[in-house]
Structure 1
Amino acid sequence: MKFSESWLRTWVNPTVSTQELIDQLTMAGLEVDAVESVAGEFSKVVVGEILEVEQHPDADKLRVCQVAGSPEGTKQVVCGAPNARVGIKIPFALVGASLPPGDDGKAFKIKKAKLRGVESMGMLCGETELQVGTDDSGLMELAADAPVGVDFREYLDLDDAIIDVDLTPNRSDCLSLKGLAREVGVLNKATVSAPDIKPVASTCDDTFPVSLQAGSACSRYVGRVIKGIDISKPSPQWLQERLRRSGLRSIDAVVDVTNYLLLELGQPMHAFDLAKLDSGIRVRMAEQGEKITLLDGQEIELKAETLIIADNSGPLAMAGIMGGESSSVSDKTQDIFLESAFFNPIAIAGKARSYGLHTDSSHRFERGVDYDGAQTAIERATQLLVDIVGGTPGPVVCEELADELPSARTVTLKKPRIQAGLGFAIPDEEVVDILTRLGLVLQSEIDNSWVFEVPSYRFDIAIEADLLEELARIYGYNQLPTTKMRIPAALPRLEESQLPEDRLARQLIARGYQEAITYSFIDPKLHKLFAGEQEHAAVELLNPISADMSTMRTSILPGLVDALRRNINRQQSRVRLFEKGLRFIPTANGLQQTQGLAGLIYGERDDATWTASKGGVDFYDIKGDLESLISLSGQTARFQAAKHPALHPGQCAEVFLAGESAGYVGALHPQLTKALDIKQNVFVFELDLDKIVAATIPSFKLLSKFPEVSRDLAILVDRDVTSVALMEEIQANAGDHLKNLKVFDVYSGEGIDPKRKSVAFNLTFQHPSRTLNEDEVNSPVAAIVERLEDKFDASLR
């Protein structure tokens, strides 16, 4: 929230500097994000008034103005602004004035000059030239009652600072000058001088009926008719300036006043054109498919769970979010209906974001607005409007559902809990002083404890620990004593059968990967691309951070591939990423959270050096990385051709560990890479982390002193027979003395039936206590060949 320091000091004015005030707010948990000056550095600029305007004799776009405001009398100034006209009051930079620096960083000095042969004694200024605003369309027009000749900085109180406070969601009470002043007053034990808000007596009998039909979503609605306003009257300069310094622009007096109350009291309000309302206000839930055109011109199709303000003709506003165009105040408005309501935060939370909206009103209502502040805001708004635009106010109408309003809350604070919770004792009188200055009411003091009633604007205080936090905040975190923590130094037990996860990370890093951390929430479109129709349905968030982060991931790969796209878009041509994290899979027994490990490789096989081999990565690069990773646990992986909706049908393998499926490895599906606009192949793997870290405990085995016997077998088989199937049969029929088995050649081409291939195996036999004879080796080899012939129609090459 942005606010003007000078405005805050009209409420509470402690004897501290701007920097000390900023430090106090930050240390109290109201972090200050930025501080900036209200205007640029300039001098010798006064309030001027244009008395005469003539066309420049030699320039169509220039005018010669006679301007009052200089101590030396009327001055002639040549001006090119389109809105220069007789009678307006503007900032007038006198000869010798210094204006804010331009792009070159140098201050701009005003001198006597001749423009197209006509003498000019000064400069008439716009907002951007003085750095007091962003409107560069012409001269800055001041109020009609601005005193001519007065220093411009003094007139608008420009020796001021704009403070931007970043509030946590629980501190909605500080989304107003009233709340911030209360905090500053408590921190400095200073008196807070709030505006004198008295009930405005009704001078007409007009009312407008209100009906509450949404239960607890809206339990209090305050309204008032004001007739005969003059909408053409502008807001006073002080009000426009306070809005501008809070980041809001002036629109018209009615809208300005409602915006002003939002900033001053934290109560969002809305004004309807009474002539555009039909019969009565109805606060109800929307009907599915109802439409409303908002003040910003958007047409919205409403959902059934959206709270709206309506009349007999249909929706008028999205409650707590934005008003509708059809009932808005315009330059023809004469009568208005002011509303000020309490909307349950739960009814408003997330609704604006679900429509792609975010407004100052929704920001406050979804965090909680004081349910006792609606009537005060109506009276304050009536005061200001009658003073600015006139009119005759009717009686205040307050409709409420007493049973649905929040009930008064009490919290008990035990005195010993202060010492136990904060580490030191605070005198009883100081505890009561701090909490009562924050607005809590001491109801009783019984059995070494206090009972406090929580004020209606503090939605965040519910339990004893909240009161301890308030005491620590106001007492001062930097004044809390420092004590050394005593923590038992027991080392965690590390099971040998469990491989530490950091070993996996170090292994991948050693092979050129970088660890990534991506969100657990992903775009539903991205989930559908990876999951296809056969995979798990994902959990949809009810209140997502944004529309593209509304689905809980069932796989780590979508986030990793999205990170790859970002790297590619930033000219990274060789990428290796991995991530460990949770996956969220709905099952019949509820949401299952599983730990996964995923990785990807993309681009060239090696970094670009004069010794590096050329060529892009392929399936066997990532398969080798995976085998290296799995070998850390002492397990042997088995890879079997498989299908996965996100992977290439011809380059996809299911990974088995200890006979159980542990995940997949392969190339991303070509349709997927095309949809994601990735030009080269991407190879990925994703495994169940708990299956990889299940390590085999090492055991000692005597090395044989006797020689190994090696045999090579080249087998001709059909092309669709896998090497894994052949190896399983060889191991099953090789007997007890087979020590090692590996594939050393695969060949298809000239000299072989096109429908068949040659697979060559090396078999190594060894006995632990003697030398094997020829029969002990030849016999299992013959059995192997016979078994392969029977099962796979194999033949020796």
Structure 2
Amino acid sequence: MRAPVEWLSEYVDVPAGTDAQQVADALLSVGFETEDVHVPPVTTGPLVVGRVLTIEELTGFKKPIRFCTVEVGPGNGAPDSPGGAVREIVCGARNFVEGDLVVVALPGSVLPGDFAIASRRTYDHLSDGMICSVRELGVGNDHEGIMVLDPDDPAAVIGSDPRRLIGADPVEGAVVELAVTPDRGYALSMRGLARELGIAMDVPFRDPAADPVPDREAGGWPVHIEDPHGCSRFVTVRVSGVDPAAPSPFWMRRRLLAAGIRSISLAVDVTNYVMLEFGQPLHAFDLAQLSGDIVVRRALPGEQLRTLDGAVRTLVVDDLVVADESGPISLAGVMGGESTEISAGTTEVLIEAAWWAPEVITRTARRHRLPSEASRRFERVVDPEIAAAAAEAAAALLVRFGGGAVLGRSDVGLRPAPVTITLPLGEPERLAGRPYTPEVITHRLEQIGATVTGGESALQVSPPSWRPDLTRAADLVEEIARLEGYDTIPWVLPTAPAGTGRTSRQDRVAAIAADLSSAGLTEVLSFPFIGTKDLDQLGLDAGDDRRRTAVLSNPLDADRPSLTTTLLPGLLDAVVRNISRSSRELAVFEIGQVFLPAADSPAPPRIPVDRRPDEAQLDALEAALPAQPRHLAVVLAGPADRAGWWGPARTADWSDAVELARRVVRTAGVAVTVTAGEQQPWHPGRCARIGIAGDGSVTVGFAGELHPAVCERLGLPPRTVAVELDLDAIPAAALPVGPRISPFPPVLLDLALVVDDTVPAGTVAEALVQGGGELLESVRLFDVYTGERVAAGTKSLAFALVVRAADRTMTAAEALGVRDAALAAAHTASGATLRD
């Protein structure tokens, strides 16, 4: 909201010497955030109001030129002019005539842009000054020519300084731009902001809507309201005999421009001016184009309306329209129709001021994508009491500057009944935390326009009609605290209760995140929402448990209305987005919750909002909540090792994903097992099941290469690999026990085994450990061979075994016995045989 300081000063007595920044600070002190302060550019030197005496048209030049004599007031004329009151000026503009009042920059003045004015000879004449345009003075962008002042303006005195008159004064010509919150629609007007400024500066406020409305019982236009919910009041004022060529006065055009609205015509400018002044949007109809009575109703199916922007809009039954016998003539509260638009020949004007239901206007404006200054105010609720006052003010301005007469007014509908709020005198202190005397409470509430009565323990407060946001005692307390100053409320730092620190589970998650970061991975935080398309892209079967989702009642994204059951969609989205921005080396991970509703999960109960739920309702709500385990997901796309002098790059493959899964489980302090697995969206032959050692039934996740079809659908690089683990399924680590260090030497043995090429190396290694017993200290796979030296369909796995006893030096026979026991266990588990 742009508020010219000069306009605000019309309703409040701004203290002398107050600049625009101080005005902005005052409004900020009562809760209005300042977005900007616009100060007009400075014009130095002699600038005066002048009257054009004569105009001589000069010929013989490439463009029309005029030689003018201008009366500039005593003491301002040329040194050799009689009485010193006249200047001769050459001017190329043609939008002024003899007798017009203009702004004259005398020699020695400097206009915005460092444009110095001096006497100079041009077009065979001496030009002793300059007649200025709006643009040259820096108070607008009007290209139409010279600024012509209103002769009826008492401030337009020949020879006087016109800076305040034209808005070039650095104080009163400034504009304060404010951010108005949706609950303070009254502040989208000079009336509302001036009231707040008067409160902030503790100066009297003069309400422009306080003047009595003229009593007019006849002559208005017939109006019928068929939808009293959408329109509770509809006022029309009829004005006849308006001069269609009458221009808007300069001061009105200047104020509109400063407020961010361009001048169009007198009738339109008047409605915009009153809207900014009162906060009541108005609409002007060409009365000659109306057919019969006005009806306020809902649109009929298929009805169309050509709005003022030239677009033909197809209406729906939820749209509220103003109609006559020809059909809709205005989209209520949003924009008028072309059929009754004010034109260059309009002499009969019907001014409309109505109260529209905010929710109706909001839906209509959004449905038709047609925001307007009017809908912006109606959405935030307009004062229902000022419709007649605003319409009469507009009619008075129209008659004053366009001639004609007011024929009558019609006022149809009912005004809302006033509400009364009981405010206990102790409530402000209880809610705000500081005492307020009854006198302060009453004074502050009366400042905002409320009527206050009451006794010793409580006050009865009737909020003003322009404050529909005040509905309860807490709202009144907020107003008292706001006007007294939030900075007067003492702050007390609460004492933090003694805590136990992070839990072991939280420590484990933090350790895993730190370890993955140290390995070069980047943590990602994605939105926890998915849609059916995301699950389809992962290729999940119809019966997959991850397709059973918790659907949100009011999702942020209609395409993703459910809480996620897997972290992969969000993480893969991040990878695709980075690839589209030319990133080629991606290693990312995410730790977050997933939401897994049970197959027989009950529907969540409806919880009351006006009171605390009882225990049964809370138990029912708890039972309806989905399981929310914490998962970890990793995606690797691109090289695992960069190219350099040490050799070529190596692309990340399934083994890197499996190793990261092992690393995570090891960081959690638990032994891991890796076996072949099958789980969508991983490649069936390159997917590993991650389990817990010693308990083969516990699966904590899967790792491997994503299915080629998934990579193609998502636009991922071929052979992208991923991991997803259920961190909550990993059991707590046992109490760590220090290793027993044997002082005796180890026996180092190598064992080459031949197995079927479908047997995982992990299965063989696990069997060797179990068969070797306590004396087998470690098993490490150091070679895998397939080729002509082994049978087709088989592979050779070479393991390095370390055998050691804690209490003695082992003999060769004992070491070979351990090896043979391990070999036997491997043969039983996987059919492994000793390689020749």
Alignment partner, residue 225 of structure 2: 211
Say if 1:662 and 1:687, in contact at 8 Å, map to a contact too.
yes
Alignment partner, residue 410 of structure 2: 397
The residue correspondences of 1:210-609 to structure 2 (distance < 5 A) are 210-213=224-227, 216-286=229-299, 290-302=303-315, 304-311=317-324, 313-349=326-362, 352-400=365-413, 407-445=417-455, 448-480=457-489, 482-492=490-500, 494-499=502-507, 501-512=509-520, 554=564, 589=603
Count of residues in Structure 1 that have an aligned counterpart in Structure 2: 769
Matches of 2:285 and 2:296 in 1, distance apart? 14
The residue correspondences of 1:714-725 to structure 2 (distance < 5 A) are 717=756, 721=758, 723=760
Say if 1:716 and 1:796, in contact at 8 Å, map to a contact too.
no
Say if 1:32 and 1:166, in contact at 8 Å, map to a contact too.
yes
Alignment partner, residue 110 of structure 1: 117
Q: Secondary structure at the match of 1:216?
A: coil
Alignment partner, residue 99 of structure 1: 111
Equivalent of 2:669 in 611, 629, 634 = 634
Alignment partner, residue 136 of structure 2: 129
How far does residue 424 in structure 1 lie from its aligned partner after superposition? 2.6
In structure 2, relative to structure 1, the CA distance for the partners of 1:94 and 1:661 (3 Å cut) is farther
Q: Secondary structure at the match of 1:487?
A: coil
1:169-213: CA deviation from partner (whole Å, max 9, x where unpaired)? 222222211111222222333221122533245496251332233
1:24 aligns with 2:26: yes
What is the alpha-carbon root mean square deviation over aligned residues? Answer: 4.9
Q: Secondary structure at the match of 1:76?
A: strand
Matches of 1:600 and 1:85 in 2, distance apart? 74
How far does residue 162 in structure 1 lie from its aligned partner after superposition? 0.4
State the structure with more CA Rg: 2
Q: Secondary structure at the match of 1:456?
A: coil
Matches of 2:425 and 2:816 in 1, distance apart? 91
In structure 2, relative to structure 1, the CA distance for the partners of 1:134 and 1:710 (3 Å cut) is farther
How far does residue 241 in structure 1 lie from its aligned partner after superposition? 1.4
In structure 2, relative to structure 1, the CA distance for the partners of 1:226 and 1:674 (3 Å cut) is farther
* TM, length-normalised to structure 1: 0.79
Alignment partner, residue 7 of structure 1: 7
Matches of 1:334 and 1:495 in 2, distance apart? 80
Say if 1:656 and 1:662, in contact at 8 Å, map to a contact too.
yes
How far does residue 727 in structure 1 lie from its aligned partner after superposition? 6.4
Alignment partner, residue 211 of structure 2: 197
How far does residue 12 in structure 1 lie from its aligned partner after superposition? 1.0
Name the stretch that deviates more: 358-367 or 766-775. 766-775
Equivalent of 2:740 in 703, 722, 742 = 703
Matches of 1:526 and 1:166 in 2, distance apart? 40
Matches of 1:89 and 1:287 in 2, distance apart? 53
Matches of 1:622 and 1:654 in 2, distance apart? 11
In structure 2, relative to structure 1, the CA distance for the partners of 1:776 and 1:614 (3 Å cut) is closer
Amino acid of the structure 1 residue aligned with 2:482 = R
In structure 2, relative to structure 1, the CA distance for the partners of 1:208 and 1:559 (3 Å cut) is farther
Amino acid of the structure 2 residue aligned with 1:100 = P
In structure 2, relative to structure 1, the CA distance for the partners of 1:727 and 1:779 (3 Å cut) is closer
Matches of 1:331 and 1:337 in 2, distance apart? 15
Alignment partner, residue 610 of structure 2: none
In structure 2, relative to structure 1, the CA distance for the partners of 1:548 and 1:353 (3 Å cut) is farther
In structure 2, relative to structure 1, the CA distance for the partners of 1:415 and 1:564 (3 Å cut) is farther
Q: Secondary structure at the match of 1:436?
A: helix
How far does residue 276 in structure 1 lie from its aligned partner after superposition? 4.0
How far does residue 108 in structure 1 lie from its aligned partner after superposition? 2.3
Amino acid of the structure 2 residue aligned with 1:111 = A
Amino acid of the structure 1 residue aligned with 2:110 = S
Say if 1:210 and 1:282, in contact at 8 Å, map to a contact too.
yes
Equivalent of 1:139 in 137, 145, 165 = 145
Matches of 1:573 and 1:116 in 2, distance apart? 69
How far does residue 490 in structure 1 lie from its aligned partner after superposition? 1.4
Say if 2:661 and 2:723, in contact at 8 Å, map to a contact too.
no
Matches of 2:561 and 2:193 in 1, distance apart? 37
Q: Secondary structure at the match of 1:96?
A: coil
Matches of 2:189 and 2:363 in 1, distance apart? 21
Name the stretch that deviates more: 616-625 or 138-147. 616-625
Matches of 1:625 and 1:568 in 2, distance apart? 22
Matches of 2:69 and 2:555 in 1, distance apart? 58
Amino acid of the structure 2 residue aligned with 1:433 = H
1:20-68: CA deviation from partner (whole Å, max 9, x where unpaired)? 332222122111121111344444344456753646645x356344352
Identity %: 28
Say if 2:538 and 2:680, in contact at 8 Å, map to a contact too.
no
In structure 2, relative to structure 1, the CA distance for the partners of 1:531 and 1:622 (3 Å cut) is closer
Name the stretch that deviates more: 114-123 or 661-670. 661-670
* TM, length-normalised to structure 2: 0.76
In structure 2, relative to structure 1, the CA distance for the partners of 1:653 and 1:181 (3 Å cut) is farther
The residue correspondences of 1:738-753 to structure 2 (distance < 5 A) are none
Say if 1:643 and 1:652, in contact at 8 Å, map to a contact too.
no
1:673-711: CA deviation from partner (whole Å, max 9, x where unpaired)? 9988x9x78968685886389753544375374857766
In structure 2, relative to structure 1, the CA distance for the partners of 1:49 and 1:521 (3 Å cut) is farther
How far does residue 528 in structure 1 lie from its aligned partner after superposition? 9.3
Say if 2:4 and 2:255, in contact at 8 Å, map to a contact too.
yes
Q: Secondary structure at the match of 1:22?
A: helix
Amino acid of the structure 1 residue aligned with 2:225 = S
Matches of 1:150 and 1:381 in 2, distance apart? 31
Amino acid of the structure 2 residue aligned with 1:450 = L
In structure 2, relative to structure 1, the CA distance for the partners of 1:532 and 1:250 (3 Å cut) is farther
Alignment partner, residue 611 of structure 2: none
In structure 2, relative to structure 1, the CA distance for the partners of 1:784 and 1:22 (3 Å cut) is same
Q: Secondary structure at the match of 1:32?
A: strand
Matches of 2:403 and 2:468 in 1, distance apart? 37
Matches of 1:521 and 1:151 in 2, distance apart? 65
Matches of 2:595 and 2:138 in 1, distance apart? 52
In structure 2, relative to structure 1, the CA distance for the partners of 1:418 and 1:275 (3 Å cut) is same
Amino acid of the structure 2 residue aligned with 1:634 = G
Q: Secondary structure at the match of 2:107?
A: strand
Say if 1:723 and 1:759, in contact at 8 Å, map to a contact too.
no
Amino acid of the structure 2 residue aligned with 1:139 = G
Alignment partner, residue 104 of structure 1: none
Matches of 2:370 and 2:834 in 1, distance apart? 71
Alignment partner, residue 52 of structure 1: 55
Say if 1:499 and 1:695, in contact at 8 Å, map to a contact too.
no
In structure 2, relative to structure 1, the CA distance for the partners of 1:444 and 1:782 (3 Å cut) is same
In structure 2, relative to structure 1, the CA distance for the partners of 1:334 and 1:41 (3 Å cut) is same
Amino acid of the structure 2 residue aligned with 1:10 = E
How far does residue 3 in structure 1 lie from its aligned partner after superposition? 0.4
How far does residue 85 in structure 1 lie from its aligned partner after superposition? 6.2
1:708-747: CA deviation from partner (whole Å, max 9, x where unpaired)? 77665565656xx584895699589868668766665566
Q: Secondary structure at the match of 1:35?
A: strand
Say if 1:34 and 1:165, in contact at 8 Å, map to a contact too.
yes
Uncovered stretches (5+) of structure 1, i.e. residues with no partner: 102-106
Name the stretch that deviates more: 601-610 or 623-632. 601-610
Uncovered stretches (5+) of structure 2, i.e. residues with no partner: 79-85, 605-624
